Amino acid sequence: MAELHIIGQIIGATGFPQNSLFCKWGVHAGGAWRLLSGLKEGQTQVDIPQTGDMAYWSHPIDLHYTTKGLQGWPKLHLQVWHQDSFGRCQLYGYGYIHVPSSPGQHRLQCVTWRPLGSWQDQLAEMFVGGGPQLRSPDLIYSGADRYRLHTVGMGTVELELCVILRHFDRYGVES
């Protein structure tokens, strides 16, 4: 069996309309993959940057997977939320990114999008906040039925992941 180590961090997010953000993240892999150690989901702290636009989380990711096959390569999905001064949480974006398959250090930008409602919803959102959310977060990385969604692009989340592969070349996988 081959092993995959993912070591890195969710650095932060930039390009969102407001700055007080936190992120819920998770890693999802196929059936042939087994997680040996590490937490595969989590939630960062709320960060309010004093200067500049980027909210920094520096949230660590440290995972060790083992696999019997290549199908279902791990994917990292994210939900970026905004918390305002009254304590309300509002969804700011869904995003997902594949864990890179080539070993080494990768600096990745995961773009995010947010679903939009009708124009009445959008007007209400401007005053009261809130907004439609996906019924089930699986839709972020499944892709089916996406054509029914009407979305708007939001900011990007920056990640730095170091990927270490082990024994893949023994089975003839080149990456």
Q: How far is CA 158 from CA 82, 87, 110, 169, in A?
A: 17, 25, 6, 30
Q: Is 107 in the site for other proteins (CB under 8 A)?
A: no
| Widest Cα–Cα separation across the chain | 58
Is residue 129 helix, strand or coil? coil
Q: How far is the CB of 9 from other proteins (least distance, A)?
A: 18
Q: How far is the CB of 61 from other proteins (least distance, A)?
A: 17
Choose, by CB under 8 A, the member of 11, 16, 57, 61 that binds other proteins.
Answer: 16
Choose, by CB under 8 A, the member of 116, 128, 158, 164 that binds other proteins.
Answer: 116
The residues, ordered by sequence, that sit 6+ positions from 46 with a Cβ below 8 Å of its Cβ are 20, 21, 22, 83
Q: Give CA–CA dist 4/10, Å, rounded.
A: 18
Q: Give CA–CA dist 150/89, Å, rounded.
A: 21
Q: Which range binds other proteins by CB under 8 A, 5-13, 54-62, 125-133, 143-151?
A: 143-151
CA dihedral 125, 84, 157, 25 (to 10 degrees): -100
Q: Which range binds other proteins by CB under 8 A, 5-13, 55-63, 124-132, 136-144?
A: 136-144
Q: Is 3 in the site for other proteins (CB under 8 A)?
A: yes
Find, among 114, 117, 98, 116, the residue nearest to 106 by Cα: 98
> Identity (one letter) of the amino acid at 140?
I
Q: Which range binds other proteins by CB under 8 A, 5-13, 55-63, 71-79, 123-131?
A: 71-79
Q: Is 36 in the site for other proteins (CB under 8 A)?
A: yes
Choose, by CB under 8 A, the member of 79, 112, 158, 159 that binds other proteins.
Answer: 112
Site for other proteins, rule CB under 8 A:
1-3, 15-17, 22, 32, 36, 46, 66-71, 73, 75, 83, 87, 94-98, 100-102, 106, 110-113, 116, 119, 141-144, 146-156, 169-175
